[in-house]
């Protein structure tokens, strides 16, 4: 008889639990974990102290994320930050100042790591023209968090497009004389973020140092 795999955590606090991404995360993880929902209006520090989660996932807003991180640093509980809007400079400062496992995950989609790897290879051969990121028009931050990290890596500019009833796409254009090469990663279903979230949970359970993390092989 096969042995049931031990889950790395028991009680996960999801901040932003009722949002588009937070609700998908809570639905999927509630099959295996006790979920504590943190919603806007509740004092984050009080909710953490009351429920003592063993992992936190933050998918809230670029407006509050640095204030939330300061609270997580005081509680020193492992945390996965999916919220966008943290600049690469701030992300590095946060990682340097955090002596416990904290993952900043610009993009949970497993394919995004492949996009970065291919972009880095192409950028050694061709001039990077620009990044074009397209998202649904409910997205509150612009440019996207993922494109900020791509631009930092590729030293280029970002064009942002917002359209109704869309999810997310990141494109990178490379130019050579008389021609363009474009590579892109597109999310066509929000459920595609879930495997990356499960990867991040598994990875953070190995107690890594605070870091910027891209799920995938």
Ligand X SMILES: NC(=O)C1=CN([C@@H]2O[C@H](COP(=O)(O)OP(=O)(O)OC[C@H]3O[C@@H](n4cnc5c(N)ncnc54)[C@H](O)[C@@H]3O)[C@@H](O)[C@H]2O)C=CC1
Ligand Y SMILES: O=C(O)C1=N[C@H](C(=O)O)C[C@H](O)C1
Shortest distance (Å) from residue 126 CB to ligand X: 27
Q: Is the CB of residue 116 less than 8 Å from the CB of residue 214? A: yes
Q: What does 156 interact with, of ligand X, ligand Y, none (CB < 5 to 8 A by kind)? A: none
Taking the CA atoms of 75, 59, 61 and 150 in sequence, report the sign of the dihedral they define: positive
Name the segment binding ligand X (CB under 6 A); options: 10-18, 26-34, 87-95, 153-161: 10-18
Question: Could you count the other beta carbons within 10 Å of the beta carbon of residue 179?
Answer: 8
The upper half-sphere exposure of residue 94, i.e. CA atoms within 13 Å in the direction of its Cβ, equals 27
End-to-end CA distance of the chain: 30
- Pick out residues in 149-188 that bind ligand X (CB under 6 A): none
Identify the residue among 61, 73, 142, 205 touching ligand X (CB under 6 A): 61
Q: Does 16 contact ligand X by CB under 6 A?
A: yes
Question: Could you count the other beta carbons within 10 Å of the beta carbon of residue 89?
Answer: 10
Identify the residue among 60, 98, 134, 146 touching ligand Y (CB under 6 A): 146
Shortest distance (Å) from residue 82 CB to ligand Y: 8
Q: What residues contact residue 20 under an 8 Å CB cut-off, 6+ apart?
A: 138, 190
The token duo for 93 is 């400062």
For ligand Y, the closer CB: 16 or 53: 16
Q: What does 54 interact with, of ligand X, ligand Y, none (CB < 5 to 8 A by kind)? A: none
Give the separation between CA 38 and CA 102, rounded to whole angstroms.
18
Q: Does 108 contact ligand X by CB under 6 A?
A: yes
The residues binding ligand Y (CB under 6 A) are 84, 106-107, 135, 139, 144-146, 168
The residues binding ligand X (CB under 6 A) are 15-16, 18-22, 38-40, 59-62, 64, 82-85, 105-108, 141, 145, 193
């Amino acid at each position: 008889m096969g042995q049931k795999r031990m889950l790395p955590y028991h009680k996960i606090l999801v901040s932003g639990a009722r949002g588009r991404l937070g609700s998908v995360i809570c639905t999927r993880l509630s099959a295996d974990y006790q979920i504590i929902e943190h919603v806007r209006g509740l004092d984050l520090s009080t909710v953490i102290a009351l429920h003592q989660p063993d992992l936190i996932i933050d998918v809230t807003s670029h407006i509050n994320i640095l204030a939330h991180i300061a609270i997580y640093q005081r509680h020193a509980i492992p945390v996965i930050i999916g919220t966008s809007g943290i600049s690469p400079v701030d992300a590095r400062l946060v990682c340097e100042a955090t002596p416990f496992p904290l993952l900043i995950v610009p993009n949970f989609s497993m394919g995004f790591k492949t996009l970065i790897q291919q972009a880095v290879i192409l950028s050694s051969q061709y001039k990077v023209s620009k990044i074009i990121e397209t998202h649904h028009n409910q997205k509150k931050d612009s440019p996207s968090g993922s494109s900020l990290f791509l631009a930092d890596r590729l030293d280029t500019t970002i064009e942002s497009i917002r359209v109704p009833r869309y999810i997310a796409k990141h494109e990178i254009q490379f130019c050579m004389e008389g021609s363009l090469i474009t590579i892109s990663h597109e999310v066509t279903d929000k459920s595609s973020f879930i495997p990356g979230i499960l990867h991040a949970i598994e990875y953070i359970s190995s107690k890594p140092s605070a870091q910027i993390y891209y799920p995938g092989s």
